[in-house]
């Protein structure tokens, strides 16, 4: 209980359309889960519903983090409690300087003013690890960043904020092979008994670097199959057709 993120029979909709139709999933700290599924099946909807995007309406079910009902919390409270979402399309926020933003976020997350030196030392360390140029910190948040740079920046934020549960929405899309390695190393570094991870992806590739404990297949708003790593390889080869047929039969 105290170390799980439990999603129980979740129903969610956007603009009057039901997207999630009774989804259940439990992630324990220390575990890495992967969700795969066709375009439009509801993966990003799940990610946003967990994070608390006000555009998505949860119409049924529960989400418990460490036993607490997070559907009752605003998005920022969820974040401060240790939930993190690496966005599929991180937005550009002109006028907000990266370093300032990170400092405010870190202060909010840890509930105290971090010493400036301490903050910059930590930041420099993570940036070096992710191979991010120092000049980036003076720039505006994500503005003019390439797709890959934005993704790397999400992982930087994740490393700075040390979440307890992280959802990563297609962090691998748009990354070249070197960036993918760097990002995966970042995630593997964070991986451990204090963090539960949910990776959303279309490709088996990232799962070779970040080996998941479980793989789930999401089709039309529901998890239709769960299994081990071999599921990903099977999908890569056969696509989703066989599952959809299977489930229709069942």
Which residues here bind another protein, judged by CB under 8 A? 51-55, 74-76, 79-80, 85, 87, 90-91, 93-97, 100-101, 104-105, 108-109, 140, 157, 161
42 binds ligand ATP, rule: CB under 6 A: yes
Q: Which one of ligand ATP, Mg ion, another protein, none interacts with residue 212, CB within 5 to 8 A by kind?
A: none
Q: Which one of Mg ion, another protein, ligand ATP, none interacts with residue 39, CB within 5 to 8 A by kind?
A: ligand ATP
Give the span between the Cα atoms of 144 and 197, in whole angstroms.
Answer: 29
Number of residues counted as binding ligand ATP (CB under 6 A): 12
Q: Which residues, 70 to 89, sit near ligand ATP by CB under 6 A?
A: 88
190 binds ligand ATP, rule: CB under 6 A: no
115 binds ligand ATP, rule: CB under 6 A: no
58 binds ligand ATP, rule: CB under 6 A: no
Q: Which one of Mg ion, ligand ATP, another protein, none interacts with residue 161, CB within 5 to 8 A by kind?
A: another protein
The CB-of-43 to ligand ATP minimum distance in angstroms stands at 3
CB 23 within 8 A of CB 218: yes
44 binds Mg ion, rule: CB under 5 A: yes
**Binding track over 1-20 against ligand ATP, x by CB under 6 A:** -------------xx---x-
The number of beta carbons lying within 10 Å of the beta carbon of residue 178 is: 10
Q: Which of 24, 40, 100, 226 binds ligand ATP (CB under 6 A)?
A: 40
Of 7 and 232, nearer to another protein (C-beta) is 7
Q: Terminus-to-terminus CA distance in the chain, angstroms?
A: 32
Nearest Cα to 39, choosing from 219, 248, 244?
Answer: 219
Of 127 and 224, nearer to another protein (C-beta) is 127
The binding site for Mg ion (CB under 5 A) comprises 43-44, 88
């Amino acid at each position: 209980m105290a170390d799980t993120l439990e999603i129980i029979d979740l129903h969610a909709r956007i603009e009057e359309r039901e997207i999630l139709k009774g989804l259940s999933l439990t992630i324990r700290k220390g575990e890495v889960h992967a969700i795969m599924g066709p375009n439009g099946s509801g993966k990003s909807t799940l990610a946003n519903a967990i994070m608390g995007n006000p555009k998505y309406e949860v119409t049924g079910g529960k989400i418990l983090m460490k036993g607490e009902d997070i559907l009752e919390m605003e998005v920022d409270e969820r974040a401060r409690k240790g939930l993190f979402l690496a966005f599929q399309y991180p937005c550009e926020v002109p006028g907000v300087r990266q370093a300032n933003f990170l400092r405010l976020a870190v202060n909010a997350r840890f509930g105290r003013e971090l010493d400036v030196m301490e903050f910059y030392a930590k930041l420099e360390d993570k940036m070096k690890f992710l191979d991010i140029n120092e000049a980036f910190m003076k720039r505006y948040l994500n503005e003019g960043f390439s797709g890959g740079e934005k993704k790397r920046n999400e992982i930087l934020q994740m490393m700075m904020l040390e979440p307890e549960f992280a959802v990563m929405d297609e962090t691998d899309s748009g990354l070249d092979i070197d960036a993918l390695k760097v990002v995966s190393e970042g995630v593997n570094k964070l991986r451990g008994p204090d963090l539960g991870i949910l990776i959303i992806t279309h490709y088996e590739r990232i799962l070779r670097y970040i080996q998941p404990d479980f793989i789930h297949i999401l089709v039309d708003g529901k998890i239709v199959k769960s299994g081990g790593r071999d599921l990903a390889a099977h999908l890569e080869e056969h696509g989703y057709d066989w599952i959809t047929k299977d489930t229709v039969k069942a």
